[in-house]
């Protein structure tokens, strides 16, 4: 009783699998990140039989016969250790190894040994062989940051657990005893020798024939286990992880969350950013850049938060608040259209003074009476400031809010020229609403999720509906943005196909932007420096526009998703999955559980939320 009084029996019985979020890209590939990696929790029938045979042959060949404590194995180990004069073999069963791995301290005391023996007997009776082995294979550390066999299969061979062949299975089984010593990435020869030992043990255990073992040994030379470079999209993973963790929080074990990230588009974005900063950026004093790409309904398919994630995890696409400059003029002209003005109406582009504030055009030239279309395309500051005064700054703020800008906006005349700070993600989303024809567009990053043991997956996707119909003004707004690229300040962004967007430059060239869209994608680019130092004459129509153009040119060669329904089609979405409006359900039911989209009714069992 003294030894067993503090044993967490309920915790052991129910399993203590911590919630593990397994992020996947849109095409189902794992979004592997730096640091320890735990793959999805695999069921017993998902482990290949050869892997189970290999593990039992080398670790506990009597596992299916003993009752948690192998007295024969203990006696055999005692005799061999006695002959050797030192400890050369242990007598622990897989059940005991699992208990030490998950529940007990590593100190060798009488109390711990008593706990180990009693818990082993109890677990065998309570759980059974298959469940114990399943938990063990999912939780054991196998080197290179991999916890569990599914993670090791992905780390070493970039395979799902069920796709492992005989030599791969034998190699992973060999790592159980000493993953650091026989890690094939650091000690390939040691891993080869250890794999041979496992294969010989399988022959001795009657699981494979000697010729098959020899063939497997020979084929080991063709294995190329390498720790994969962390996949691109780490800024994206940081952005979406809180929501994914919230979904998985109530589900023990792993929850696989399929995101909207396109690996191909992400790679293009990172490559284009690096090339631009190393070339043109270096010459003009631009040290950082950010890019966000999404579908017109807000599904984020690529996100770059800076030059190098390893050097700085700060996400300049989401967290950084910067002055948007003339990209903010979209809201001024939208407010003007709502006020009844047309693109052919004229506004005076001349020196203007508003309570001591006197904006100037780039280059210092003024153009007199110009149409609204010309003032927007040429990004004329004086004309735009005058237009904002005519419409009313409060109406401009209302227009920005309607299109999805949530950041604080100062009710001052200079707001018209983008002096209130926003982030790139929300600004890009606002432009997406113009392309979609509805507002606001909320950026989203999770397509669906499935908790371990759940029979079905749950679609997430859009969590809020765009409730403002822009059809009355969409044609004019599209015309304005397209004119910018065709013959305005955004000519440098022309990708050679339909494109529409707007340039922006903050005071003293501290921030430069280009935000716009092609037919399938909406993207925003920001360029600047973290310390807010000015760049050497960089405007939105130069470096940001060039980055945007190069990204779109390459992206258009890829099969980019176009809207939520197409996103699912592109990535082979499960048409049988259940839709789960997490936002609406969590607001409606305090007992709502995201992992299976259920809530506790006043009577009876939990019910599926169908909001």
Q: What is the pLDDT of residue 463?
A: 60
Final residue in a domain of this structure, among 347, 379, 407? 407
pLDDT band of 412, cuts 50, 70, 90: very high
Domain tally for the chain?
4
Position 146 confidence tier, pLDDT thresholds 50, 70, 90 = confident
The answer to whether residue 300 scores a pLDDT higher than 90 is: yes
Angstrom CA distances, 190 to 141, 174, 178, 216, stand at 18, 10, 11, 16
> Cβ atoms within 10 A of the Cβ of 95, count?
27
What is the domain extent for residue 586? Answer: 581-611
Please state, in angstroms and rounded to a whole number, the distance separating the CA atoms of residues 549 and 275: 13
First to last CA, the chain: 51
Same structural domain for residues 286 and 159? Answer: no
Q: Which of 264, 273, 272, 249 is nearest to 301 (CA)?
A: 264
Q: Are residues 329 and 181 in the same domain?
A: no
Residue 8 lies in a domain: no
Question: pLDDT tens-digit profile of 458-477?
Answer: 777 666 677 899 999 999 99
Query: Do 528 and 552 have their domain in common?
Result: yes
Pair 286, 329 in one domain:
no
In a domain, 4, yes or no: no
Tokens, residue 420: 């209130």
Residues β-bridged to residue 5: none
pLDDT band at 511 (very low <50, low <70, confident <90, very high): very high
DSSP 8-class letter at 1 = -
Q: What is the pLDDT of residues 170-182, one digit of tens each?
A: 999 999 988 878 8
DSSP state of 281: I
- The reported pLDDT for the residue numbered 490 is 96
pLDDT at 89: 46
Prior bond of 394 cis (ω within 30°):
no
Residues 209-231: pLDDT tens digits?
A: 999 999 999 988 677 776 554 44
Q: Can you read off the two tokens belonging to residue 480? A: 């304005």
Please check whether residues 312 and 346 belong to one and the same domain: no
Integer Cα distance of 337 and 472 in angstroms: 9
Q: Is residue 564 in a domain?
A: yes
Give the range among 150-159, 183-192, 534-543, 552-561 with minimum mean pLDDT: 552-561
Give the contacts of 189 (CB within 8 A, at least 6 positions apart): none
Selection from 310, 317, 301 nearest residue 527 by Cα: 317
Q: What pLDDT does residue 579 have?
A: 76
* Window from 26-40, 78-92, 163-177 with minimum mean pLDDT: 78-92
Q: Which of 437, 424, 436 is nearest to 521 (CA)?
A: 436
Same-domain check for residues 486 and 498 = yes
Query: Which whole number is the average pLDDT over 427-449?
Result: 94
Q: Dig out the tokens for 342 from the structure.
A: 């047309």
> Is pLDDT larger for residue 338 or for residue 28?
338
Same domain, residue pair 384 and 454: no
Residues 236 and 338 in one domain: no
Query: Tens of pLDDT along 540-563?
Result: 999 999 999 999 999 988 754 443
pLDDT of residue 549: 98
Q: What percentage of the chain exceeds 70 in pLDDT?
A: 80
Higher pLDDT, 351 or 576: 351
158 falls within a domain: yes
Given a contact cutoff of 8 angstroms between Cβ atoms, the answer to whether 306 and 316 are in contact is yes
Which H or E element spans position 485? helix 471-487
- How much is the average pLDDT of 139-166? 86
Domain boundary, last residue among 201, 222, 243: 222
> Do 122 and 55 belong to one domain?
yes
Backbone angles phi, psi at 381, to 5 degrees: -70, -45
Tokens at 388, concatenated:
């904002």
- For 206, phi then psi, to 5°, come to 75, 20
Mean pLDDT of 133-151: 85
Q: Residue 137 has what pLDDT?
A: 92
Cβ proximity of 158 and 168 under 8 Å: no
The answer to whether residue 395 scores a pLDDT higher than 80 is yes
pLDDT, residue 571, reads 35
What global pTM score does this model have? 0.73
Same domain as 444, residue 311: yes
For the chain, count helices (H), then strands (E). 22, 18
Mark whether 551 and 486 lie in a shared domain: yes
String of DSSP letters for 334-393: HHHHHTT--TTSEEEES---BTTB----TTS---EEEEHHHHHHTT-HHHHHHHHHHH-H
pLDDT at site 157: 87
């Amino acid at each position: 009783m003294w030894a067993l009084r503090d044993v967490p029996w309920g915790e052991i019985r129910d399993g203590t699998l911590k919630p593990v979020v397994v992020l996947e890209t849109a095409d189902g590939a794992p979004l592997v990140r730096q640091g320890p990696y735990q793959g999805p929790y695999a069921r017993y029938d998902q482990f290949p039989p050869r892997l189970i045979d290999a593990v039992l042959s080398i670790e506990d060949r009597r596992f299916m016969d003993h009752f948690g404590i192998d007295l024969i194995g203990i006696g055999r180990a005692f005799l061999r250790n006695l002959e050797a004069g030192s400890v050369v073999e242990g007598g622990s069963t897989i059940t005991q190894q699992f208990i030490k791995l998950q529940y007990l301290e590593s100190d060798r005391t009488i109390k711990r040994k008593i706990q180990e023996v009693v818990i082993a007997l109890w677990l065998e009776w309570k759980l059974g062989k298959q469940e114990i082995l399943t938990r063990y294979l999912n939780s054991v550390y196998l080197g290179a940051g991999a916890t569990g066999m599914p993670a090791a299969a992905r780390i070493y061979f970039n395979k799902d657990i069920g796709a492992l062949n005989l030599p791969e299975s034998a190699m992973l089984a060999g790592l159980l005893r000493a993953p650091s010593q026989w890690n094939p990435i650091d000690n390939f020869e040691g891993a080869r020798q250890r794999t041979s030992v496992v294969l010989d043990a399988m022959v001795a255990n009657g699981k494979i024939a000697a010729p098959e073992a020899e063939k497997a040994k020979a084929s080991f030379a063709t294995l190329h286990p390498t720790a994969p470079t962390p996949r691109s999209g780490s800024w994206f993973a940081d952005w979406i992880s809180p929501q994914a963790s919230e979904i998985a929080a109530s589900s023990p074990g792993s929850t696989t969350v399929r995101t909207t990230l396109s690996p191909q588009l992400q790679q293009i974005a990172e490559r284009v950013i690096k090339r631009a900063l190393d070339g043109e950026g270096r010459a003009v004093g631009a040290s950082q850049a950010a890019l966000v790409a999404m579908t017109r309904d807000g599904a984020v398919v690529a996100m770059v938060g800076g030059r190098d994630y390893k050097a700085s995890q700060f996400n300049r696409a989401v967290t950084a608040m910067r002055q948007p400059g003339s990209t903010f003029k979209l809201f001024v002209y939208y407010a003007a259209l709502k006020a009844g003005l047309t693109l052919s109406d004229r506004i005076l582009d001349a020196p203007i003074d508003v309570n001591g504030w006197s904006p100037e055009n780039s280059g210092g030239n003024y153009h007199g009476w110009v149409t609204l279309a010309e003032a927007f395309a040429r990004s004329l500051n004086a004309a735009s400031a005058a237009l904002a005064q005519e419409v009313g700054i409060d109406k401009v703020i209302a227009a920005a809010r309607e299109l999805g800008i949530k950041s604080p906006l100062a009710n001052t005349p200079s707001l018209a020229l983008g002096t209130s700070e926003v982030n790139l993600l929300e600004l890009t989303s606002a432009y997406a609403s113009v392309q979609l024809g509805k507002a606001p567009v909320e950026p989203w990053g999770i397509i669906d999720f499935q908790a371990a043991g759940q029979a079905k997956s749950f679609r997430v996707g859009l969590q809020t509906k765009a409730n403002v119909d822009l059809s009355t003004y969409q044609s004019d707004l599209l015309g304005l943005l397209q004119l910018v690229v065709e013959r305005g300040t955004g000519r440098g962004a022309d990708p050679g196909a339909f494109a529409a967007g707007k340039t922006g430059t903050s005071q003293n060239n501290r921030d430069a932007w280009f935000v716009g869209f092609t037919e399938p994608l909406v993207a925003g680019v920001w360029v600047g420096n973290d310390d807010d130092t000015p760049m050497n004459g960089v405007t939105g129509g130069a470096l940001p526009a060039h980055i945007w153009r190069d990204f779109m040119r390459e992206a258009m060669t890829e099969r980019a998703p176009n809207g939520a329904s197409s996103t699912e089609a592109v990535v082979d979405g499960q048409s049988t999955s259940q839709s789960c409006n997490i936002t609406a359900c969590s607001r409606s039911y305090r007992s709502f559980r995201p992992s299976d989209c259920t809530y506790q009714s006043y009577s009876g069992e939990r019910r599926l939320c169908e909001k």
